[in-house]
């Protein structure tokens, strides 16, 4: 249920409309929310084993496809049973810098954000887990993670 709320929240927040997205993910519980967030913006992480549940409604399907292809960045606050409210952040862009503790990313609209590497960070490329050394300046990536105050922590990074 929580994963469905994440998908609904991201769709609603990014589109400012209540379009329902019934996607779920059976990803590792460590990064399940982040996996759903990246899936909703078009990055395959290999962490889900279920397809989006469609209603057969063509306008909604087209809207989801536009969301997946065109979302650059956003954040949404979700309610969790265990930890209360959680801010989930997503971004798609180009790596501008990589350090031992984080990565800076710039989206095509000029929005830039520096992410710290969060606990239990998972980095995937071609649906397979890779090491942080795979992150290089100029790479196209999608990130999802959490925000606590001014700190945005990456929990899941998908390299295109």
- Per the prediction, the chain carries an average pLDDT of 74
Give the tens place of pLDDT for each residue, 29-72: 567 767 776 776 666 677 654 344 444 456 556 656 656 677 88
- Compute the residue count for the chain: 160
Task: Provide the residue ranges of all domains of the chain, joining segments of one domain with +.
Answer: 2-72, 85-159
Residue 45: CB atoms within 10 Å:
26
Residue pair 74/59 in contact (Cβ under 8 Å)? The answer is no
Phi/psi at 106 (5° precision): -120, 125
Q: Specify whether domain 85-159 bears CATH 2.40.50.320.
A: yes
Residue pair 127/46 in contact (Cβ under 8 Å)? The answer is yes
Cα gap 127→130, rounded to integer Å: 9
Q: Residue 78's pLDDT is what?
A: 81
Residue pair 32/40 in contact (Cβ under 8 Å)? The answer is no
Least confident of 76-85, 101-110, 131-140: 76-85
């Amino acid at each position: 249920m929580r994963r469905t709320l994440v998908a609904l929240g991201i769709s609603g927040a990014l589109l400012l409309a209540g379009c329902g997205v019934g996607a779920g993910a059976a990803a590792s519980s460590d990064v399940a929310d982040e996996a759903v967030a990246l899936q909703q913006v078009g990055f395959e992480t290999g962490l889900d084993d279920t397809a989006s549940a469609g209603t057969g409604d063509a306008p909604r399907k087209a809207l989801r496809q536009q969301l997946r292809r065109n979302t650059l960045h956003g954040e949404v606050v979700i309610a969790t049973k265990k930890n209360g409210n959680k801010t989930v952040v997503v971004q798609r862009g180009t790596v501008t810098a990589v350090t031992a503790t984080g990565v800076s990313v710039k989206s095509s609209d000029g929005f830039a954000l520096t992410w710290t590497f969060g606990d239990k960070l998972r980095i995937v490329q071609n649906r397979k887990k890779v090491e942080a050394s795979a992150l290089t300046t100029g790479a196209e990536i999608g990130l999802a993670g959490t925000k606590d105050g001014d700190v945005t922590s990456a929990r899941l990074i998908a390299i295109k």
